[in-house]
Amino acid sequence: MKMEGKMNKNEVKNILSKIIAMKNNFDIYADKLLDIFPGAIESELFENFYKLFDSHCELISKNCGIPQEAIEWFVYDNICGANKFEADGTVIDCLDTFVDFEFKALEEQKNGERKNEE
């Protein structure tokens, strides 16, 4: 996989923090909606929001090189670092750690591709 990255670390951190805030706000709204309408989880509103969120993750991935699956893992599984899951021995406990870890992996991948070309 070639690094398609056009965004630098700070740009990635900035845009990810914004879409994470958007998701967190939606989660608060969804919890309140589900208190009133427990069956609402089956509605198109939820489905469409998560499709939109996933398409944002895909767009970010294409513009920075971090795999979409890694972004979604960080947000959904690791709950933006709250679960303090590890990746290759590194505890991913916040957005900064996640982005730094992923950019380091991209740089190592890029360096490996260069060595293979030589």
| Full-model pTM | 0.83
Q: Is the pLDDT of residue 1 over 60?
A: no
Burial class (CB in 10 A: 0-12, 13-18, 19+), 117: exposed
What is the reported pLDDT for 40? 81
Q: Which residue's structure tokens are 């991913």?
A: 92
What is the reported pLDDT for 118? 61
Q: Measured between alpha carbons, how far apart are the two ends of the chain, in Å?
A: 18
For 102, residues 6+ apart whose C-beta sits below 8 A from its C-beta are 66, 70
